[in-house]
A and B are shown apart, each in its own frame.
Chain A
Amino acid sequence: MESLSFSYPAREAVASRVHVGVVGSGDLEVLLEPSPDGRAHVTVTTSVPGFGAVWKNVLDRFFSRFDGAAAIEINDFGATPGVVMLRLEQAAEALRA
């Protein structure tokens, strides 16, 4: 198990909370809620240590298109980068809905 933290600048406030996914094999859950300080914060807890650089790549790409001031908690159970991105996009879509 490993915990990682990331922070990104944000432009838009986030108005609601979104929960997607499940901490099951090859999957993850995402809890997205308003951030208190106008920036985006991501905390990752993953069952697979040693992939900090991959997490940073996935999150860098997600935040190149998402500018919400969100506090995002990720609980990961061995999801591939593609699944991580899909869950993040799902959370962002639910936020817009």
Chain B
Amino acid sequence: MRDSFIELRARERARAILDADTFRELLGPFDRMKSPWLPLQGVVTQADDGVVVARGRVDGKPAVVAAIEGAYQGGSIGEVSGAKIAGALELALRDCERGRPVRPVLVLETGGVRLQEANLGLAAIAEIHAAIVALRRHVPVVGVVAGLVGCFGGMSLAAALCSRLIVTRQARLGMNGPEVIEQEAGIAELDSMDGAEVWGLMGGEQRHATGLADVLVEDDVGAIAAQVREAFNTTAPPRSEQVQVFCRRLAGIDPGHPPSPKALRTLWAREGEP
């Protein structure tokens, strides 16, 4: 029987990715580093602001995992939760610059910025982006989108900036979530309740088949942990550095007649694969 990764909460996900018994949480719930803004708006806070940062080891090498709790406020990134991720990446960068490489892993389960914290969350997301780009020059930055929330908004850009992005079939990845698209463009554009249509567009399998994610993996703790380890052996340049490749792909699309998800798989077939 598979051992579901998706069903794990953020803390257990971080623990599952790190080598056994190496998990050591930084700024855990008892540090009570929580959102100062949500109570002012009548929203109950979580003591870790929905992000678990843990040091430990991956394949025996020093590592840091930042895992977002999708069940708390949709995994949204506020001032504090964003600063925890950015801070973890920046400290890993400092260690790398001092010749002590740290393997960074992001477990992304997020609707994007926390609307109640607006620009403070957006600023934190920008810091996360900058830190990923700086850090990936030293060591692969590995992203995991497992599901059930998916990864949207500014954090979908963070996923895209990762050196390697691992997704499951249950994952969804996109700038705008399906509900936002339906609300903004109408149900004729996208019926957010139509699971097959939504996953056909932005599901993990489609994102992998069209080269927007690197690894498609079963929802299994062992399989995901193994793929994270494998990702640190990669030498391929990050997708977001392959600007010419993606410019060519975009040039082959007529926005007036957008291709079906199936046609896009042919148009944007993975390099070296039929």
Within 8 A of B (CB), among A36-88: 45-47, 73, 75-77
- Please tell me if the beta carbons of A19 and B47 are within 8 angstroms of each other in the complex: yes
A1-34 CB contact bits vs B (8 Å, 1 = yes)?
Answer: 1000000000000000101001111010101010
In the complex formed, the residue of B with least CB distance to A75 is: B44
* Contact A1 B44, CB 8 Å, known A17-B30, A29-B29, A31-B29: yes
Q: How far is B44's CA from A47's CA once the two chains are assembled, in angstroms? A: 6
In the complex formed, the residue of A with least CB distance to B9 is: A22
* Contact A29 B71, CB 8 Å, known A17-B30, A19-B30: no
* Residues of B close to A76: CB separation below 8 A: 44
* Residues of B close to A33: CB separation below 8 A: 30
Taking chain B's interface residues, is the majority helix, strand, or loop, or is none over half, making it mixed? loop
Chain A min CB distance to B25 (Å): 10
Q: How far is B97's CA from A87's CA once the two chains are assembled, in angstroms? A: 43
* Residues of A close to B28: CB separation below 8 A: 19
- Please tell me if the beta carbons of A31 and B44 are within 8 angstroms of each other in the complex: no
Q: How far is B46's CA from A19's CA once the two chains are assembled, in angstroms? A: 11
Q: How far is B116's CA from A1's CA once the two chains are assembled, in angstroms? A: 15
**Residue B250 at the A interface, CB < 8 A?**
no
Q: How far is B181's CA from A89's CA once the two chains are assembled, in angstroms? A: 42
Chain B min CB distance to A78 (Å): 9
In the complex formed, the residue of A with least CB distance to B70 is: A24
In the complex formed, the residue of B with least CB distance to A26 is: B71
Q: How far is B44's CA from A75's CA once the two chains are assembled, in angstroms? A: 7
**Residue B45 at the A interface, CB < 8 A?**
yes
Chain A min CB distance to B257 (Å): 40
In the complex formed, the residue of A with least CB distance to B46 is: A23
- Please tell me if the beta carbons of B43 and A47 are within 8 angstroms of each other in the complex: yes
- Please tell me if the beta carbons of B72 and A23 are within 8 angstroms of each other in the complex: yes
* Residues of A close to B47: CB separation below 8 A: 19, 29, 31, 73, 75
* Contact residue among A17, A22, A25, A46 (Cβ-Cβ distance under 8 Å from B46): A22
- Please tell me if the beta carbons of A75 and B30 are within 8 angstroms of each other in the complex: no
Q: How far is B48's CA from A22's CA once the two chains are assembled, in angstroms? A: 10
Q: How far is B46's CA from A31's CA once the two chains are assembled, in angstroms? A: 10
* Residues of A close to B30: CB separation below 8 A: 17, 19, 31, 33
- Please tell me if the beta carbons of B44 and A22 are within 8 angstroms of each other in the complex: no
* Residues of B close to A29: CB separation below 8 A: 29, 46-47
Q: How far is B47's CA from A17's CA once the two chains are assembled, in angstroms? A: 14
Q: How far is B14's CA from A77's CA once the two chains are assembled, in angstroms? A: 23
* Residues of A close to B205: CB separation below 8 A: none
- Please tell me if the beta carbons of B71 and A1 are within 8 angstroms of each other in the complex: no
**Residue B256 at the A interface, CB < 8 A?**
no
**Residue B214 at the A interface, CB < 8 A?**
no
* Residues of A close to B43: CB separation below 8 A: 1, 47
* Contact A77 B44, CB 8 Å, known A19-B29, A19-B30, A22-B9: yes
Which 9 A-B residue pairings sit nearest by Cβ, starting from the closest? A24-B71, A23-B46, A1-B42, A19-B29, A22-B71, A47-B44, A23-B72, A75-B44, A45-B44
Between-chain CB contacts (< 8 Å), 19 pairs? A1-B39, A1-B44, A19-B28, A19-B29, A19-B47, A22-B69, A22-B71, A23-B44, A23-B45, A23-B71, A24-B69, A24-B71, A24-B72, A25-B71, A31-B47, A45-B44, A45-B45, A46-B44, A47-B43
